[in-house]
């Protein structure tokens, strides 16, 4: 079968993930390892972030997802949200939930519309293991607070790990159903050379889907929405929305228009490639930022063409998920 070599040009920066910091209070072994010392170097400021969002909003920006590292470690997180909410973009946030208890309300008031919270286990000891010492109860309190203050869309993200996740599925489904959350499973991506990755830790999401259907009945497909990474289903038995992000077994790269800004000021075009564009020299000036948008669109188009031509069989080995922001 011949590979398609033409990919349509990317004409807008519709979706931007901003990694606010590469620092984190957790050490999930699939994302970072203590061996990485986090450099206390340059970190994008609230001014930079506002400027980028302002300029990109003139080039089609619709959604900004704030991520990290742990974005709630930024003392100016609420200010950042307030400032970028002035530009008509939808603001989403991905967090490990640890600091949510005190921050859910101010974040909602500042303009965060959608929350993704990572939750790999509902058993205290397993949660502690998979987060490198995290406190499950505190995260659950954060989730409850987010619900209480009225977030309409709360998604729980679970990375699927063989030998770990299988016995979590029932608890996670029931927890999500009781709370009215949307549960999403993510295939483990081998980004960066972390000792945790090995083939026998990979759990294909077809396994998880089959398990759910065998035990809870048919999953009904829902229309794709958002960035298109997740295939979403409705589970009538639990009145629950379940999503599958099959980054490995069913890559969703076609037509990708995601841009990532890392906390050291670089634009990344794809989780699969190391290449990035250093935006740092442009961050202090709106006109300079405007002048570089065309180049970014061109590089994104080239990245999509490269991926389409060369396939989806690898991930960036020398990048770090904790820096890229997922």
Q: Rule CB under 6 A: say whether 231 interacts with ligand SF4.
A: no
Nearer of residues 5 and 137 to ligand SAM, judged by Cβ: 137
Q: Smallest distance, Å, CB 75 to ligand SF4?
A: 17
- Specify the pairing of strand 63-67 against strand 258-261: unpaired
Q: Smallest distance, Å, CB 106 to ligand SF4?
A: 21
Strands (E) across the chain are located at 15-19, 63-67, 90-95, 112-118, 153-160, 182-187, 220-221, 231-235, 240-245, 258-261, 266-268, 276-278
Nearer of residues 265 and 326 to ligand SAM, judged by Cβ: 326
Residue 276 binding target from ligand SAM, ligand SF4, none, CB below 5 to 8 Å by type:
none
Q: Rule CB under 6 A: say whether 142 interacts with ligand SF4.
A: no
Q: Rule CB under 6 A: say whether 319 interacts with ligand SAM.
A: no
Could you tell me if 296 and 259 are in contact, meaning their C-beta atoms sit under 8 angstroms apart?
yes
Nearer of residues 32 and 300 to ligand SF4, judged by Cβ: 32
Q: Smallest distance, Å, CB 249 to ligand SAM?
A: 13
| Interface region with ligand SF4, contact rule CB under 6 A, candidates 63-71, 106-114, 162-170, 194-202 | 63-71
Site string for ligand SF4, 19-38 (x = CB under 6 A): -----x-xxx--xx------
Q: Which of 285, 275, 277 is nearest to 317 (CA)?
A: 275
C-alpha–C-alpha distance, residues 13 and 36, integer Å: 31
Q: Rule CB under 6 A: say whether 103 interacts with ligand SAM.
A: no
Cα 69 to Cα 108, 155, 245, 262: the distances in Å are 20, 18, 20, 10
Backbone φ and ψ for 324, nearest 5 degrees, come out as -75, -30
Of the residues 7, 21, 57, 118, which one makes contact with ligand SAM according to CB under 6 A: 118
Residue 160 binding target from ligand SAM, ligand SF4, none, CB below 5 to 8 Å by type:
none
| Interface region with ligand SAM, contact rule CB under 6 A, candidates 82-90, 101-109, 140-148, 184-192 | 184-192
| Interface region with ligand SF4, contact rule CB under 6 A, candidates 41-49, 65-73, 215-223, 288-296 | 65-73
Nearer of residues 265 and 325 to ligand SAM, judged by Cβ: 325
Q: How many residues bind ligand SF4 (CB under 6 A)?
A: 12
Nearer of residues 84 and 139 to ligand SAM, judged by Cβ: 139
Residue 27 binding target from ligand SAM, ligand SF4, none, CB below 5 to 8 Å by type:
ligand SF4
Dig out the tokens for 2 from the structure. 């011949």
Q: DSSP secondary-structure letter at 223? A: -
Q: At what angle are helices 205-216 and 169-179 packed, to 10 degrees? A: 70
Could you tell me if 258 and 299 are in contact, meaning their C-beta atoms sit under 8 angstroms apart?
no
Q: Which of 140, 207, 152 is nearest to 181 (CA)?
A: 152
Q: 155 pairs with which residues across the strands? A: 116, 182
Q: 79 pairs with which residues across the strands? A: none
Residue 319 binding target from ligand SAM, ligand SF4, none, CB below 5 to 8 Å by type:
none
- Specify the pairing of strand 220-221 against strand 231-235: antiparallel
Which residue's entry shows tokens 């999401």? 205
Backbone φ and ψ for 181, nearest 5 degrees, come out as -95, 165
Binding site for ligand SAM (CB under 6 A): 24, 30-31, 67-68, 70, 94-96, 118, 157, 159, 186, 188-189, 191, 321-322, 325-326
Q: Which residues bind ligand SF4 (CB under 6 A)?
A: 24, 26-28, 31-32, 68-70, 96, 118, 322
């Amino acid at each position: 079968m011949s590979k398609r070599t033409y990919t349509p040009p990317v004409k807008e920066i519709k979706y931007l993930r901003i990694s606010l910091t590469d620092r984190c209070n957790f050490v999930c072994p699939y994302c970072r390892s203590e061996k990485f010392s986090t450099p206390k170097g340059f970190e994008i400021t609230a001014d930079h972030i506002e400027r980028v969002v302002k300029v990109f909003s003139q080039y089609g920006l619709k959604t900004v997802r704030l991520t990290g590292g742990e974005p709630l470690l930024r003392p100016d997180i609420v200010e950042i949200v307030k400032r970028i909410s002035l530009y008509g973009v939808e603001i989403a946030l991905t967090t490990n939930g640890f600091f949510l208890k005190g921050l859910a309300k101010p974040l909602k008031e500042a303009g965060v519309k959608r929350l993704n919270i990572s939750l790999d286990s509902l058993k205290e000891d397993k949660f502690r293991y998979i987060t490198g010492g995290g406190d499950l109860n505190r995260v659950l309190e954060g989730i409850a607070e987010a619900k209480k203050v009225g977030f309409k869309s709360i998604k729980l993200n679970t990375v699927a790990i063989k030998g770990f996740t299988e016995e979590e599925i029932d608890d996670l489904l029931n927890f999500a159903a009781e709370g009215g959350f949307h549960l999403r499973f993510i295939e483990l991506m081998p980004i960066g050379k972390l000792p945790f990755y090995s083939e026998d830790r990979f759990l294909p999401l077809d396994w998880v889907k089959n398990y759910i259907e065998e035990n809870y009945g048919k999953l009904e497909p829902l229309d794709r929405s958002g960035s298109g990474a997740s295939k979403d289903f409705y589970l009538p038995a639990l009145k629950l929305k379940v999503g599958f992000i099959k980054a490995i077994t069913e890559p969703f790269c076609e037509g990708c228009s995601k841009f990532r800004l890392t906390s050291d000021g670089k634009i990344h075009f794809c989780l699969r490639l190391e290449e990035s564009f250093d935006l740092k020299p442009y961050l202090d000036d709106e006109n300079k930022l405007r002048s570089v948008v065309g180049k970014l669109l061109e590089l994104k188009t080239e990245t999509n063409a490269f991926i389409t031509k060369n396939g989806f069989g690898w991930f960036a080995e020398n990048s770090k998920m904790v820096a890229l922001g997922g």
